[in-house]
Amino acid sequence: MRIRLTPEAKADVAEARRWYRERGAGLDARLIDALEACLDSISAHPDRGAIVEGSIRRLLMRGFPYGVFYVPYSDESIVVACLHGARSPHVWRRRGAG
């Protein structure tokens, strides 16, 4: 199944990557590897993520405190957010409503 990230989700990833890059030791590359593994899992098993509200699902990234919030459809899953666990749920709720 195809995965599509919204512009907002891409911005989330860029922000997280910047933050981890500043901490050094290749953490930003590890973050991207974890994200790609999470997206591969969503692609293979779109119903794997926990339903968090309505049709929005969340799959946690291994090794990082981030959740990937997405809406699965018959032909693709749309990632609406990639957020740190401490972020307000209002962010992904607002994005998933569109």
Q: What is the pLDDT of residues 56-97, one digit of tens each?
A: 999 999 999 999 999 999 999 999 999 998 877 777 777 765
Q: What are the backbone dihedrals phi and psi of residue 29, each rounded to the nearest 5 degrees, phi first? A: -70, -40
Q: Which CATH superfamily is domain 2-96 in?
A: RelE-like (3.30.2310.20)
Q: What is the pTM of this model?
A: 0.90
Residue 83 pLDDT: 94
Cβ atoms of residues 56 and 69 within 8 Å: yes
Which residue type sits at 11?
A
- Ramachandran area for residue 63 (φ above 0: left; ψ -120 to 50: alpha; else beta): left
Which residue type sits at 46?
P
Beta bridge partners of 66: 84
Q: What is the pLDDT of residues 46-56, one digit of tens each?
A: 999 999 999 99
**pLDDT class of 8 with cuts at 50, 70, 90:** very high
Q: Taking the domains of the chain in order of start, what are their residue ranges?
A: 2-96
Residue 93 pLDDT: 73
